[in-house]
Amino acid sequence: MNQGVRRIFVVVLGLFAILIAATARWTVVEADDLNQNALNRRPQLETARVPRGTIRAADGTLLARSIKQDDGTYRRRYTEAAREASHFVGYSYTNAGQDGIEKTHQDDLVGKVSSAATLLSALRGNERGNDVVATLEPKVQRAALAGIGDRTGAAVAIDTRTGGILAMASTPNYDPNDFATDAGIKRSYSAAGKPMVNKATQGAFPPGSTMKVVTAAAALASGKYQPDTLIDGSSPLIVETVPLSNFGGEQYGKESLTYSLTHSINTAFARVAEDLGPDPIANAMKDFDFEEQLPIDFPKDHLLASGVRDSRTGKLIPVNADVDIARVAIGQERLLVTPLQMAFVAATIARGGDKPRLATVERVLDPDGRTVKRLGDGKSAGRAMSRRDAADLTGMMEKVVQEGTGTAANLTGLSVAGKTGSAETDQSRDLTDPWFIGFAPADNPRVAVAVVLKDIVGGQGGINAAPIAKAMMEAAL
């Protein structure tokens, strides 16, 4: 009989252990994932009778507020400025769930911030959420949208000093107010151009020649190359039995690494990659946080990792595996990146090789206006390259804008460092994805940008993307 009791005791003890483990998993270990799950409506239902705090842009522009309904619940309303930045702000409705910073800052907006002021407010019976001040600058966002126009594309601007996202444009965008009704939700998801895909953070684009900046970083880090190191720029170069040519079949002789970046010489950078081998290129990419989600307070399901992807499965492939490293080095092969990733690369170089800690929210204010949380503090997220190499690369990128392919990004009276790209997507129809990445002022950086347009006939980064980047930098400065 004692043996039977012991067996039952062991079974019950095991069941309790499983219960404790499962409870700990969902309440502690994976609590954030559960709260961000699109199918989980509990956070919205719990707080439907508590007015969410307002969301304002960095300049004070109102983006979102809560309106009381006849049944005592509150419903979200979004301004025109929020509609212009719909992918950034997101939405929050009990029937639709949440997205954008409405999702990642749910606890802040409903007042789940541990502070005496919040507790006192609740005891007085006037509990409401905390207000959020976003990093968004509406004038920079509008400059991006105006430049992209009715074309499909994306643009990101980062404050290089704080890591704050100044602009996150993705076209076409959507109206977050539409998510108040099931009909509006259906209309948004079925609209042409996939407006519900945030192309700034989850759009997969071939980077074209903007990738040469990362290759140049790898070359400088190796110690084998300096800005004045000469490289053969003759064309074509046979890589794995397939000719690799310069744009327009242009021919070059022995040119410096700086000149090769300035005039975007494909064969020169392909030869650099073949000389270095795959490991230094792979290491440089990892140093810039390729192959992983960038660390930022934004929904994880909207953050696509950049890297080489299998054309059949879409899964990431190690760069030092069976990959054509010469073509990866010039932004071809199966390399796909997000605009956020390339803006991050530009911002890192601007900061002397120091990676920024990205943020979408500047600060959180309690109902009495006191700051209870600060983000975008400018602290380092690690080092991607040495300060000396970053300075050399900055000088090389300045030449691109001064006298190379990126002259359309020039700002009067200010130095700009940048790189263009023109990624071929359909040779039969002459379609390309034009790019520009860069930062300004080059000698005292304040803003870094990345711009890409999708499938432009005869598109070139210096002609199509650089002017948009210029307008964004002008607005930011």
Residue ranges of the domains in the chain? 208-362+377-476
Average confidence score pLDDT of the chain: 90
Residue 323 has pLDDT above 80, yes or no: yes
Regarding pTM above 0.75, the answer is yes
pLDDT in tens, 341-372: 999 999 999 999 999 999 999 999 999 889 88
Residue 125 has pLDDT above 60, yes or no: no
* 453, HSE (Cβ side, Cα atoms, 13 Å): 29
* 431, HSE (Cβ side, Cα atoms, 13 Å): 9
CATH match of 208-362+377-476 with 3.40.50.970? no
In angstroms, what is the C-alpha Rg of the chain?
A: 25
Which are the contacts of 443, defined by CB distance < 8 A and separation ≥ 6?
415
Residue 116 has pLDDT above 90, yes or no: no
Q: Residue written as tokens 């204010």?
A: 365
pLDDT mean over 331-349: 97
Residue 458 pLDDT: 93
pLDDT in tens, 205-233: 999 999 999 999 999 999 999 999 999 99
Which are the contacts of 54, defined by CB distance < 8 A and separation ≥ 6?
62, 63, 64, 65, 66, 131, 132
Residue 31 pLDDT: 60
Least confident span in 152-166, 252-266, 308-322, 367-381: 367-381
DSSP secondary structure letter of residue 211: G
Residue 124 pLDDT: 47
Distance of CA 14 to the CA centre of its chain: 45
The Cα–Cα gap between 269 and 255 comes to 11
Residue 33 pLDDT: 62
- Assign 241 a pLDDT band (cuts: 50, 70, 90): confident
Is the distance from CB of 477 to CB of 414 less than 8 angstroms?
A: yes
The Cα–Cα gap between 360 and 39 comes to 24
Is the distance from CB of 72 to CB of 47 less than 8 angstroms?
A: no
Which are the contacts of 265, defined by CB distance < 8 A and separation ≥ 6?
231, 233, 246, 250, 252, 255, 259
Q: Write the Ramachandran bin of 94: left for phi over 0, alpha for psi from -120 to 50, otherwise beta.
A: alpha
Residue 71 pLDDT: 83
- Assign 150 a pLDDT band (cuts: 50, 70, 90): very high
Residue 477 CB coordination number (10 Å): 12
- Assign 119 a pLDDT band (cuts: 50, 70, 90): very low
Reduced 3-state DSSP string for 404-471: CCCHHHCECCECCEEEEEEEEEEHHHCEEEEEEEEEECCCCCCEEEEEEECCEECCCHHHHHHHHHHH
Residue 123 pLDDT: 43
Q: What are 181-186's contacts with CB under 8 Å, separation 24+?
A: 181/95, 182/95, 185/95, 185/96
Residue 118 pLDDT: 43
Instruction: List strands edge to edge, sheet with 131-134.
Output: 74-78, 62-68, 55-56, 131-134, 361-365, 371-374
The Cα–Cα gap between 422 and 359 comes to 29
